[in-house]
Amino acid sequence: MEFTGAHILSINQFERADIERIFAVADSMEPYALRRKVTRVLEGAILGNMFFEPSTRTRVSFGAAFNLLGGEVRETTGFESSAIAKGESLYDTARVLSGYSDVICMRHPMSGSVAEFAEASRVPVLNGGDGSNEHPTQALLDLYTIRQELFDKGRNIDGLRIAMIGDLKHGRTVHSLCKLLCLFNNIQVTLVSPNELAMPENVVDMLREAGHEVIISDDLTRGISSVDIAYSTRIQEERFSSKDEADLYRGRFRLNQSIYTKFCEPNTVIMHPLPRDSREDANELDNDLNQNPNLAIFRQADNGVLVRMALFALVLDVVDQVDKYSRDVNWYSGR
Amino acid sequence: MEFTGAHILSINQFERADIERIFAVADSMEPYALRRKVTRVLEGAILGNMFFEPSTRTRVSFGAAFNLLGGEVRETTGFESSAIAKGESLYDTARVLSGYSDVICMRHPMSGSVAEFAEASRVPVLNGGDGSNEHPTQALLDLYTIRQELFDKGRNIDGLRIAMIGDLKHGRTVHSLCKLLCLFNNIQVTLVSPNELAMPENVVDMLREAGHEVIISDDLTRGISSVDIAYSTRIQEERFSSKDEADLYRGRFRLNQSIYTKFCEPNTVIMHPLPRDSREDANELDNDLNQNPNLAIFRQADNGVLVRMALFALVLDVVDQVDKYSRDVNWYSGR
Amino acid sequence: MEFTGAHILSINQFERADIERIFAVADSMEPYALRRKVTRVLEGAILGNMFFEPSTRTRVSFGAAFNLLGGEVRETTGFESSAIAKGESLYDTARVLSGYSDVICMRHPMSGSVAEFAEASRVPVLNGGDGSNEHPTQALLDLYTIRQELFDKGRNIDGLRIAMIGDLKHGRTVHSLCKLLCLFNNIQVTLVSPNELAMPENVVDMLREAGHEVIISDDLTRGISSVDIAYSTRIQEERFSSKDEADLYRGRFRLNQSIYTKFCEPNTVIMHPLPRDSREDANELDNDLNQNPNLAIFRQADNGVLVRMALFALVLDVVDQVDKYSRDVNWYSGR
């Protein structure tokens, strides 16, 4: 795809070459994210960071990514009750807000709203999550993390063996990740969930059509025994009809250090889209894993900044200029 | 008036020469707002963008305007329940907050509050709307838009023919616009509203005392038949005692493409202070006008950035330095 | 203490030499806070300004301090209902958020939470107030103000005579200030409060163990008659079991100009941690003091910016570079 000026709305936009392009650019952002260097390439540019639904992590990650490229951020958080109550259409909102910035990141509770917004926008729009529909930067940072973690072991995404664990029915992130995996070759996907929270049929079919091996299981220890990546997810309580119903499943697939040691291959990487539920009755990833160097969940969150920097640089066409506007960091950085 | 260090509280402050000065400076801001150039003239300066009442558009417009001049924005949104509950006076709030910034933009639900705040402030204050009282930058951007739209047709504000349509009783923007028009010559104002939502007498008198021709009508098609500008407004439901009462008037004066084609002179410009109510039962400006090049409502919103940049540059006395601190834009801009 | 990379969590961290170091750096920030000069020393750095409890003044003061050093601010305001509801631990929040910035300022309603957060953070954390526990920058700016006000009179903190007035039981700021005073010599502290709102025993003991003279009184006029500083505080209504109970004490120790003239030594400095309660039934510091040049309450708030700039410069180790990245201010500044 042509990135310059493009909207980033869905992972369906991407072919394998696009993913590889994004990841190569993300790699080049590392010195800036790690504060070894500062770049001012987007000095004077404005990101409209429009979060019509709260999400501290995603919002701050997008904003920090833009700041790290030298740009400014104008922000909205929370639902736009006033203008909606006055009957403003998404078209009008988009026409107006896109006059204030060079690029927009938008999160909105309504499925499809970000694409509708983008159609009327005069500047590139990045989907920061539209209801249960899409959250493409999460899928990209997940896949980028897999690539990084495997790379250190001399491997790559082709040939990956991954287990996805937990609420596979409601987890938007695992659906998207499966879609992206279809762009790669020879992958073994083990799906570990209670029967009632199984991965939707269409996702399973899609994986198989891509030539991947799919193993369906409700046994955690067997599921994680021969994989490169164990991708755990949270029971999405808010999608159940009641807390009691969610409680039926909560804590069913807990991974902790002793299970890890006993059942996983050495150096199996643990991922999670976060937040992980650390309450006693859930605790899908126990805190005793915090010192395990293969717990990649915070590297995963960090990678979100790299991927978002990459997307900004691509749609605003400054990839080749980032280093030109760079200098060394002159303050203390513990990283 | 002397702009340097001044508060911008009310359109009553302005004489015609002041308006012309603001508009000339706004013109000079266009290359920056259109991202042909970047200026860093206010690099290091801080705007305190204090919105004690929500207003995404106005707030972001002020913030973006300040960013476009190179400055930083510290922001507050929503009502300050805590300090008020603790009995803090507006005087104290102003003394404290004005210590944190170089200029303040303030919106507050209470009529007169911004002027009271400004009196105690140690930095210039721009009124971003104080209840039903004043919203001077809206009036300025409306008039600036009229001037721009007429200019392209070889005309200017003197001699203007304008129709104002809708809820003329509650619409703060049309009241302010009429006041500003009194600084100009030979204007014909057609006021189209239901009888019960007529323009207040004192505004009509003021227009007539300024030598302008005022036509009062409740017939949309006749009202818009011989004007340069058709300025439509929303039924301000929130000012009625009930939704039912507002419903009596909603949708009474709908302008759409077929009415436009049938009754308007060619190239009649359509304006609206936004948000326009696009719900079916209101729809004062139909979506089928969106492709009409004379629909100026989004140019109007864009002009808000120019006018606010101009005011910041004037009160902080950097008009003559804006270009000195400029350079070309180095990223993609679709504008 | 070693400031580079340190967390600033509690005033207990500081020895006298640390306080003196912070204050010397704060002094050097004055030209920037007064907009005589601009520095860009932290250009490219990001402050995560995480206010999980609202506090406009403290939040904006921290943000402005960081902007004045040239850095960017990513911000969160209000309680993080979503992630907490999803069971995220403070450890995880800290690991994730500290990936987005170079330094974090955090306010949180829960006592001890900021220290817990800091332990997991990968960047320095400044405590912006954790419930009833600590608010170290407030204590520092109070003491800095005392030093500044005395300095103009050829005096210093050693030998200070101070009266603390009002709700000494609940006032977190006076407790912390007393702790800091224990690092200095030969201080006379007069504690003026209703018996029921007296300074806690342990604070009184601590002062006496430090060799200071403590006078306990419930007579305002006698208490303020021979002091350098009269430090007034608000009845902390929110800490009482009912408004009625708070009303018993509200307005008991009002200071106004005529009392000041009659009972205080000339040039006695008036301080208050703000907000002051200006409602008629409270009014601990009357508005008729606003013209009194010894009313230091707004200088006190201004000093918060200096102290916070100093802490940022110290923990990020740029004290010696601030001037190197400086230039003159090119816009109007009424200061």
Residue C240: per-residue pLDDT: 83
pLDDT digit string (tens) for A241-257?
Answer: 888 888 888 778 999 99
Is A190 in contact with A227 (CB distance < 8 Å)? yes
Q: ipTM value of the model?
A: 0.95
Does any CB of chain B come closer than 8 Å to the CB of residue C56? Answer: yes
Residue pLDDT, tens place only, C91-110: 999 999 999 999 999 999 99
Give the closest of C72, C277, C335 to B86, CB-based: C277
Chain A contact for B60 (CB, 8 A cutoff):
yes
Q: Does C101 touch chain A (CB under 8 A)?
A: yes
Confirm whether C15 is domain-assigned.
Answer: yes
According to the model, what pLDDT value does residue B322 have? Answer: 98
pLDDT at B334 over 80: no
Q: Are residues A189 and A320 in the same domain?
A: no
CA distance A209 to chain C (A): 35
Inter-chain CB proximity B87 and C278 less than 8 Å: yes
Three-state secondary structure of chain B: CCCCCCCECCHHHCCHHHHHHHHHHHHHCHHHHCCCEEECCCCCCEEEEEECCCCHHHHHHHHHHHHHCCCEEEEEECCCHHHHHCCCCHHHHHHHHCCCCCEEEEEECCCCHHHHHHHHCCCCEEEEEECCCCCHHHHHHHHHHHHHHHHCCCCCCCCCEEEEECCCCCCHHHHHHHHHHCCCCCCEEEEECCHHHCCCHHHHHHHHHCCCEEEEECCHHHHCCCCCEEEECCCCHHHCCCHHHHHCCCCCCCECHHHHHHHCCCCCEEECCCCCCCCCCCCCECHHHCCCCCECHHHHHHHHHHHHHHHHHHHCCCHHHCCCCEEECCCCCCC
CATH code for the domain of C208: 3.40.50.1370
Confidence of residue C204 (pLDDT cuts 50, 70, 90): very high
3 state SS for A117-161: HHHHCCCCEEEEEECCCCCHHHHHHHHHHHHHHHHCCCCCCCCCE
Contact check, Cβ <8 Å, C318/A335: no
B21 is known as an active-site residue: no
Residues A293, A308 within the same domain:
no
Residues of B in contact with A4 (CB under 8 A): 332
Residue C179 annotated to the active site: no
Residue B84 has pLDDT above 80, yes or no: no
Amino acid letter, residue B199: M
B40 contacts in C (CB within 8 Å)? none
Residues B17-45: tens digit of each pLDDT:
999 999 999 999 999 999 999 999 999 99
Pair B68, B192 in one domain: no
The region that residue B10 occupies, defined by phi over 0 for left and psi between -120 and 50 for alpha, beta otherwise, is: beta
H-helix or E-strand containing C33?
Answer: helix C30-33
C-alpha R_g of chain B: 20
- For residues C153 and C203, membership in a common domain is answered with yes
Q: Are residues B167 and B122 in the same domain?
A: no
Contacts for B291 with CB less than 8 Å, ≥ 6 apart: none
Q: Is A308 within 8 Å of chain C by CB? A: no
Residues in chain A: 335
Mean pLDDT of C318-335: 95
Q: Do B95 and C298 touch (CB under 8 A)?
A: yes
Asked if C181 and C256 sit in the same domain, the reply is yes
CA C132 to each of CA A153, B306, C138: distance values in angstroms, whole numbers, following the listed order: 49, 46, 13
SS3 A25: helix
Mean pLDDT lowest among B123-137, B232-246, C201-215 = B232-246
Peptide bond just before A266 cis, omega within 30 deg: no
* Ramachandran angles phi, psi of B51, nearest 5°: -105, 90
- Please report how the helices B136-151 and B297-315 are oriented relative to each other, as an axis angle in degrees rounded to 10: 120
Q: Which residues of A touch C87 (CB under 8 A)?
A: 234, 275-279, 282
Look over chain B and give the mean of its residue pLDDT values, rounded to a whole number.
Answer: 94
B298 inside 8 A of chain A by CB: yes
DSSP state for residue A199 in the 8-state scheme: P
Q: Do C35 and B315 touch (CB under 8 A)?
A: no
Tell me how far apart the alpha carbons of residues C2 and B327 are, in angstroms, rounded to a whole number. 42
Q: Which residues of C touch B87 (CB under 8 A)?
A: 234, 275-279, 282
Of the residues C57, C122, C243, C324, which is catalytic? C57
Q: Is the pLDDT of residue B83 over 80?
A: no
Cβ neighbours of residue C219 closer than 8 Å, sequence gap 6 or more: C192
Is the per-residue pLDDT at B157 higher than 90? yes
Asked if the C-beta of B28 comes within 8 angstroms of chain C's C-beta atoms, the answer is no
With CA atoms as reference, the chain B residue closest to C57 would be B97
pLDDT at B335: 75
Q: How far is B275 from chain A (nearest CA, A)?
A: 6
User: In chain C, what percentage of residues exceed pLDDT 90?
Assistant: 84
Instruction: Assess contact for A301 and A57: CB atoms under 8 A.
Output: yes
Token pair recorded at residue B183: 């600084």
Give kind and range of the element (H or E) at residue C260. Answer: helix C257-263
Beta bridge partners of A8: A126
Q: Do A197 and A166 touch, CB atoms closer than 8 A? A: yes
Contact (CB, 8 A) for A66 and A92: no
Distance CA C88, CA A272 (A): 12
Q: Are C246 and C233 in the same domain?
A: yes
The whole-angstrom distance between residue C148's C-alpha and the CA centroid of its chain comes to 14
CA distances from C65 to A68, A74, B19, B100, C58 (A): 19, 19, 35, 8, 11
Q: Is the pLDDT of residue C233 over 70?
A: yes
Same domain, B100 and B116: yes
Q: Are C246 and C238 in contact (CB under 8 A)?
A: no
Do residues C95 and A281 lie in contact, with contact meaning Cβ atoms separated by under 8 Å?
no
Q: Distance between CA atoms of A92 and B57, rounded to whole angstroms? A: 11
CA–CA distance, B152 with B121 (Å, rounded to integer) = 41
Distances (CA, A) of A51 to A11, B56, B65, B174: 20, 11, 20, 32
Tell me, yes or no, if B105 comes closer than 8 A to chain C by beta carbon: no
The answer as to whether A1 is a domain residue is: no
Residues in chain C: 335
Please give the Cα distance from C261 to C275 (Å, whole number).
24
Q: Count A/B contacts: CB-CB distance under 8 Å.
A: 99
Taking Cα atoms as reference points, which of C192, C176, C200 lies closest to residue C264? C192
User: Nearest to residue C305, comparing CAs of C71, C104, C69?
Assistant: C69
Q: How far apart are CA A94 and CA A100, in angstroms?
A: 10
What pLDDT does residue C40 have? 98
pLDDT value of residue B246: 81
Q: Do C321 and A334 touch (CB under 8 A)?
A: no
Radius of gyration, alpha carbons of chain C: 20
Residue A317 is classified by DSSP as: T
Residue C100 forms contact with A (CB below 8 Å)? yes
Residues of A in contact with C99 (CB under 8 A): 298, 301-302, 305
Task: Tell me the CA end-to-end span of chain B in Å, nearest whole number.
Answer: 35
Substitution target from A2, A100, A119, A311 for chain B, most B beta carbons within 10 A: A100
Distance CA C286, CA A39 (A): 51
Q: Which structure tokens are listed for A318?
A: 């400054």
Please list every residue in chain A whose beta carbon sits closer than 8 Å to the beta carbon of residue B279: 87
* Strands laid side by side in the C125-130 sheet: C72-77, C46-51, C103-108, C125-130
Of C170, C51, C30, nearest in space to C107 by CA: C51
In this predicted structure, what is the pLDDT of residue C214?
98
- pLDDT per residue over A271-321, tens digit each? 999 999 888 888 899 999 999 999 999 999 999 999 999 999 999 999 999
Q: What is the pLDDT of residues B289-300, one digit of tens each?
A: 999 999 999 999
Q: What is the dihedral of CA C286, C292, C294, C296, to 10 degrees?
A: 60
Cβ contacts of A46 on chain B, cutoff 8 Å: 64, 67-68
C107 an active-site residue? yes
User: Which of the four pLDDT bands, split at 50, 70 and 90, describes residue B235?
Assistant: confident
Which residues from B are below 8 Å from C279, CB to CB?
87
Cβ-nearest to C334 among B75, B80, B123 = B123
Chains A, C: CB contacts within 8 A come to 100
- pLDDT category at B81 given cuts 50, 70, 90 is low
Nearest-CA distance from A214 to chain B in Å? 43
Q: Which of A35, A72, A234 lies at the smallest CB-CB distance from C102?
A: A35
Q: Beta-carbon neighbour count of residue B52 at 10 Å?
A: 23
Residue A203, domain extent: 137-298
Calculate how close chain A gets to B37, using CA atoms only, in Å: 9
- Residue B142's nearest CA partner among B269, B37, B55 is B269
The verdict on residue C55 lying in a domain is yes
Above 80 in pLDDT, residue C131?
yes
Which one has a higher pLDDT value, B247 or B271?
B271
Give residue B252's pLDDT: 84
Question: Per-residue confidence at B80, pLDDT binned at 50, 70, 90?
Answer: low
Q: Tell me, yes or no, whether C6 lies in a domain.
A: no
List, in sequence order, the alpha helices (H) in C135-219: 136-151, 172-181, 201-209
pLDDT digits 0-9 by tens, C246-293: 888 877 899 999 999 999 999 999 999 999 988 888 889 999 999 999
DSSP C79-99: --HHHHHTT--HHHHHHHHTT
Distance from CA of B217 to the nearest CA of A (A): 26
Which residue in the set C42, C87, C123 is minimally distant from A278, CB to CB?
C87
Half-sphere exposure of C271 (CA within 13 A, CB side): 30
- What's the token pair of residue B9? 């509280």
Q: Find which of C74, C93, C121 to mutate to test the A interface (most A CBs within 10 Å of its CB).
A: C74
Per the CB < 8 A criterion, the answer to whether C284 and C259 are in contact is no
Contacts of B298 in chain A (CB under 8 A): 95-96, 99
Taking a C-beta distance cutoff of 8 angstroms, is the pair A214, A239 a contact? no
**C334 within some domain:** no
The predicted pLDDT at position A84 comes to 67
Q: Domain check: are C143 and C118 in the same one? A: no
Q: Please tell me the predicted confidence (pLDDT) of residue C84.
A: 67
Angle between helices B16-28 and B297-315 (to 10 degrees): 100
Q: How far apart are CA A278 and CA C91, in angstroms?
A: 10
Q: How far is CA C68 from each of CA A286, B86, C31, C50, C138, rounded to the nearest angstrom? A: 42, 29, 11, 18, 19
Amino acid identity, position C178: C
Looking at the annotation, which residues of A are catalytic?
Answer: 57-58, 86, 107, 135
Q: Closest Cα of chain A to B329: distance in Å?
A: 8
C15, C159: one domain = no
Q: Which of C59, C135, C147, C250 is catalytic?
A: C135
Q: What average pLDDT does this structure show over A10-22? A: 98
Contact C58, C71 (CB under 8 A): no
Task: Assess contact for C150 and C299: CB atoms under 8 A.
Answer: no
A318 touches chain B (CB under 8 A): yes
Q: How many domains does chain B have?
A: 2
What is the predicted pLDDT for the residue at B215? 98
Please tell me the distance from the alpha carbon of residue A240 to that of residue A234, in angstroms, as a whole number.
Answer: 13
The mean-pLDDT minimum among B62-66, C14-18, C109-113 falls in C109-113
Give bridge partners of residue A326 from the DSSP assignment. Answer: A39
Does the annotation count C86 as an active-site position? yes
Q: Please give the residue of chain A at the shortest CA–CA distance from B34.
A: A99
Are residues C112 and C227 located together in one domain of the fold? Answer: no
Do the domain assignments include residue B2?
A: no
Q: Which chains touch A (3 or more CB pairs under 8 A)?
A: B, C
Minimum distance, in Å, between the CA of residue A31 and any CA atom of chain B = 21
Q: How far apart are CA C150 and CA C271, in angstroms?
A: 12
C277 in reach of chain B (CB within 8 A): yes
For range B100-116, the mean pLDDT = 95
Q: Percent of chain B, pLDDT > 90?
A: 84
Q: Which residues of B touch C233 (CB under 8 A)?
A: none
Q: Is C74 on the interface with B (CB under 8 A)?
A: no
Nearest to B317 among C55, C305, C332 (CB): C332
Q: Is C39 strand, coil or helix?
A: strand
Q: Is the residue at A333 inside a domain?
A: no
Residue A332 lies in a domain: no
**Tens of pLDDT, residues C42-93:** 999 999 999 998 889 999 999 999 999 999 999 998 776 566 667 899 999 9
Residues A25 and A115 in one domain: yes
Nearest-5° angle of CA A292, CA A297, CA A298? 95
C309 close to C32: Cβ distance less than 8 angstroms: yes
